[in-house]
Structure 1
Amino acid sequence: MLVEQRLEENNVKNENERKKEYLRGYRTNRRRVNRIDGEVTELRELAKSVKATDYSGMPHGSGNQKDLSDELARIELLEKKLGEEKEKCIESYIAVEKQIKTVQNEDENDVLFYRYVKGLRWWEIAELMDCSEQWVHKLHGRALGHLKMDE
């Protein structure tokens, strides 16, 4: 009997970890979009500064223009990748939000949304919901139990 109980507890724990990993997917996509967006912004600023110094009247070697065109091509590739990542992020948001909505209890639903879509910390969720962190953790556990995952 005790062995069966431990097996069941392990199954629940593993299932909850799988659910949390899935729910974290949106935040992971969001961070990737933000990182690539930052890269594009930084490279654009660098390219502008190179263009500004390029017209100083000083003689330039032919290599400088090639370096700039290489960077502009890199920016273009990153912008394309950024667009693709944004599409993935939107798809992930929609999928995660759909899964969260399978939880019928509004408080449990809110905890999942605040944690996995908004990326809030436990204390921030407790503050927003006007309850204790301990209660938020309890709601989170219940919510994971009620979360229905598409197979």
Structure 2
Amino acid sequence: MIPMECEKKSMTENEKKKDYLKGYERAIRQMERSDERIREIRLNKICPTVIMDGMPHTFGGKDLSDYAALMEEEERKYRKARYLRIKRCQEISDKIEQMKNEDEKDVLMYRYIKRMKWEKISDKMGFDVRQIYNIHGKALTHFEL
């Protein structure tokens, strides 16, 4: 198996640009995973029980202070992921806006920021899907990392 670093070195310039542009989507997924973990933690806490020590416990028998610590840590991770998502969105949007061609800007914005499918981009812009692919290819060429 090839290590990630070696694999990234052999990427073409356009692949590097796509990978950079997909960073926003990865940040969104990371934030969504963290949000899901928070919901799971909350669900496990809903049914507290009392064990003979007199302290309220969660369904699994853990002390609620464990729950609070776990919840605090996960919320910290969520805030960090949210900050990263916002930062990536701003960085990528700023770089897209620096481009000269409006169609190229639109395709990159719809694809990588709004996360639209090719067909939906085609409908929105009034071009054939193949034309959208061509515009995307040109946009990647003109996009500056």
- TM-score bracket, normalised by the shorter chain, equals 0.7 to 0.9
Aligned residue type for 2:20: Y
Aligned to 1:99: 95
Question: What are the ranges of 5 or more consecutive residues in structure 2 without an aligned counterpart?
Answer: 1-10
> What's the TM-score, normalizing by structure 1?
0.79
Counterpart check, 1:50 vs 2:25: no
Q: Report what 2:132 is aligned to.
A: 136
- The structure 1 segments of at least 4 consecutive aligned residues displaced by more than 6 Å after TM superposition are none
Counterpart position of 1:19: 17
Equivalent residue pairs, number: 130
Identity of aligned residues (%): 32
Deviation at 1:123, TM superposition (A): 0.9
What letter corresponds to residue 60 of structure 1 in structure 2? I
User: 1:14-41 deviations in whole A, cap 9, x for unaligned?
Assistant: 1111100000001100111011012112
Which string of whole-angstrom CA distances, capped at 9 and with x for unpartnered residues, describes residues 105-137 of structure 1?
A: 111101001111111111111111121110100
**Residues 1-151 of structure 1: pairs in structure 2 closer than 5 A:** 14-47=12-45, 49-51=46-48, 54=49, 60-62=51-53, 65=57, 67=62, 68-149=64-145
Larger helix share, 1 or 2: 1
Amino acid at match of 2:83: E
Post-superposition shift, 1:104? 1.1
- 1:69-124: CA deviations, max 9, x gaps? 32221111000111111111111111111111122111110100111111111111
SS at match of 1:44: helix
Show the counterpart of 1:4.
none
Q: Which runs of 5+ in 1 are unaligned?
A: 1-12
SS in 2 for 1:50: coil
CA RMSD of aligned residues (A): 1.8
One-letter code aligned to 2:139: A
The letter of the residue matching 2:32 is N
